[in-house]
Structure 1
Amino acid sequence: MTQEFILETRGLTKEFRGFTAVDDVNLQVREGHIHALIGPNGAGKTTVFNLLTKFLPPTRGEILYRGKPITGMKANEIARLGLVRSFQISAVFAHMTAMENVRVALQRRLGTSFHFWKSERSLEHLNDRALELLDEVGLRDYADVLTVEMPYGRKRALEVATTLALDPTLMLLDEPTQGMGAEDVDRIVELIRRVSKGRTVLMVEHNLSVVSRLCDRITVLARGSVLAEGDYEAVSRDPQVREAYMGSDAAAEEEASA
């Protein structure tokens, strides 16, 4: 049975005053998959994410979500559909506790996110769900800790919790392990694997070890265009991909020694 594409782009292109940052990208993300968007610096990965999440309008092309065009929709409209970008959209306030941060995200889901004048008692009905979400990302013991006092890797896990509070069907994760040590990377990999159950994940990630451990499918970008696509084994063997990451001389040496 053919799996449905939850997200597609057709001829997606973004030009900046004559410079083509994204060039005719056709992306197909299958529902229930963890799909990675990788490539060397300047490949256009972040621009693609900005186009998908409405931070930028495309010059040309089309974006479809569950087969329906969303190209002209606004960021808040696509979030309500279930397409949510983590680590940039999610609200994490340094001088609120982990519980308070998740509760703010839950308020957003209810359409009352900026009602900060509401009494503490009026928000207590959100506490049980907030604790469930903190438990899901391994942060229940941090519920009453100020975010500014949390270790870096735990802050990133909190951002996942605030994203989950928006009830996403498709999570877009932008460099989820950037700047982390090995222990935190392992923790975030397991967290992504756990929260991806019943959801679809599209992630930009530089760490190829993370990609190899997590992802069902990989799209490689270079100079704004799709260079290769497939599972990790196929993509990692592609000579064009090795050249893009390592340079032509290094790729040739590796091929000769293989």
Structure 2
Amino acid sequence: MEAAVPAGAVASAIDQDYALVGEGLTKVFGGFAAVKDVNLAVRRGSIHALIGPNGAGKTTCFNLLTKTLSPTKGRILLNGVDISRLRTAEVARRGLVRSFQISAIFPNLTVLENVRVALQASYGTGYHFWRSLRAVAPLNRRAEELLEQVGIVESRGTTAAELSYGKKRALEIATTLALEPEVMLLDEPTAGMGHEDVEPITELIRKVAVGRTVLLVEHNLSVVSNLCDRITVLQHGEVLAEGTYEQVSNDERVVEAYMGGVDE
């Protein structure tokens, strides 16, 4: 079993091999430490999972890495640059973009319009809803390319609210890709899906991960085993184990943590 990343190793990990590094991450709410001295190094070009039983601190750690929360202690590095004090929008401009467990789409816009809004943000014209359709028409071709990439271009004229759950998640991935991320952070990408949607979304993530770095929080261990190169397991806000799926699934501490986990 390969050990979790120790504090001393994180500094040496800050090189071209790692796109995203969390060093000594701690988050305290009142007197409660939800995350305690977590070290995490996500290798460039890999798909890395953050897993753990309920109450393990996954969501808090993920929110620290995505800049939704600021760490009480520790730092976050993107391509070797400390982004700990930057705002979410500034981090997104540097190439780190997250998706959310609940689809963040505009339900009353069409599929194409949703992606076009994301492209407007990417090209510096976001939220200019008063612009004429002619002014934003040049973005349509790129929007259709992204919809083709995620396999829902045939739904371009459909209102987002009418999509199936799986297609809504595909649309969300398309809007994330519109921001041209170098590092994608996915929050429970298969949450709430039926079996028929899980495999297509898993394969979609594998496809869009080519040439990118992906960190995901995921409860579905079948997805994790089929998709991820490396896995970090949290328990009680601390790193319990790290390695390949085979390594962590055979770790007695991990088995015990999942069997005896408590609710958040």
Report the Cα offset of residue 131 of structure 1.
Answer: 0.2
* One-letter amino acid of the counterpart of residue 205, structure 1: E
Does 2:229 correspond to 1:196? no
Normalising by structure 1, we get a TM-score of 0.93
CA distance in 1, matches of 2:77, 2:168: 32
Deviation for aligned residue 1:113:
1.0
What percentage of residue pairs aligned between the two structures are identical?
64
49-58 vs 219-228, which deviates more? 49-58
Deviations 1:213-246 (A, max 9, x none): 0000000000000000000000000000000001
Alpha carbons 1:90, 1:105 under 8 Å: kept: no
Distance 2:248 2:204 in 1: 24
Change (3 A) 1:140 1:181: same
Superposition deviation, residue 247 in structure 1: 2.7
What TM-score, normalized to structure 2?
A: 0.91
Distance 1:242 1:88, change over 3 A: closer
SS in 2 for 1:48: helix
Is it true that 1:147 corresponds to 2:147 in the alignment?
Answer: no
Q: Which amino acid aligns with 2:20?
A: L
Unaligned ranges ≥5, structure 1: 249-258
Aligned partners of 1:244 and 1:128: how far apart in 2?
A: 48
- Aligned equivalent of 2:228: 215
Aligned to 1:101: 114
SS at structure 1 position matched to 2:138: helix
SS of residue paired to 1:21: strand
Match of 1:158 among 156, 162, 171: 171
Q: State the match for 2:82 in structure 1.
A: 69
Tell me by how many angstroms 1:3 deviates: 6.3
The aligned length equals 247
Aligned equivalents of 1:56 and 1:88: distance in 2? 16
In structure 1, the residue matched to 2:54 is 41
Q: Judge conservation of contact 1:91–1:162 (CA < 8 Å) in 2.
A: no
Q: Which has the higher contact order (CA 8 A, sep 6+)?
A: 2
CA–CA distance in structure 2, aligned partners of residues 59 and 247 of structure 1: 28
Q: Which amino acid is 2:191 matched to?
A: Q
Mark the runs of 5 or more structure 2 residues left unpaired by the alignment: 1-14
Shift of 1:149: 0.5
Task: Name the CA distance, whole Å, in 2 between partners of 1:192 and 1:31.
Answer: 16
Where 1:11 maps in the other structure, the secondary structure is strand
The 8 Å contact of residues 101 and 189 in structure 2, kept in 1 or not, is answered as no
Q: Distance in 2 between matches of 1:66 and 1:40?
A: 30
Is the 8 Å Cα contact of residues 96 and 147 (structure 1) preserved in structure 2? yes
- Please state whether the residue corresponding to 2:137 is helix, strand or coil: helix
Distance 1:153 1:82 in 2: 25
Cα distance in structure 1, aligned partners of 2:104 and 2:256: 38
Letter matched to residue 51 of structure 2: I
For the 8 Å contact 1:90–1:163, the answer to whether it is kept is no
Aligned equivalent of 1:253: none
Alignment-mate amino acid for residue 46 of structure 1: T
Contact 2:48–2:215 (CA under 8 A) maintained in structure 1 = yes
Match of 2:4 in 1: none
**Number of the residue aligned with 2:23:** 10
Give the counterpart of 1:239 among 231, 252, 257: 252
- State whether residues 87 and 156 of structure 1, in contact with CA within 8 Å, keep that contact through their aligned partners in structure 2: no
CA distance in 1, matches of 2:205, 2:104: 19
SS of the residue 1:42 aligns to: coil
Structure 1 residues 89 and 8 mapped into 2: Cα distance closer, same or farther (>3 Å)?
A: farther
TM alignment of 1:101-140, pairs within 5 A: 101-140=114-153
- The answer for the alignment partner of 1:167 in structure 2 is 180
Please report how far the alpha carbon of residue 49 of structure 1 lies from its aligned counterpart in structure 2 after TM superposition. Answer: 1.3
Shift of 1:90: 7.6
**Alpha-carbon shift at residue 161 of structure 1 (Å):** 0.1
- Give yes or no for contact 2:103–2:169 (8 Å, CA) kept in 1: no
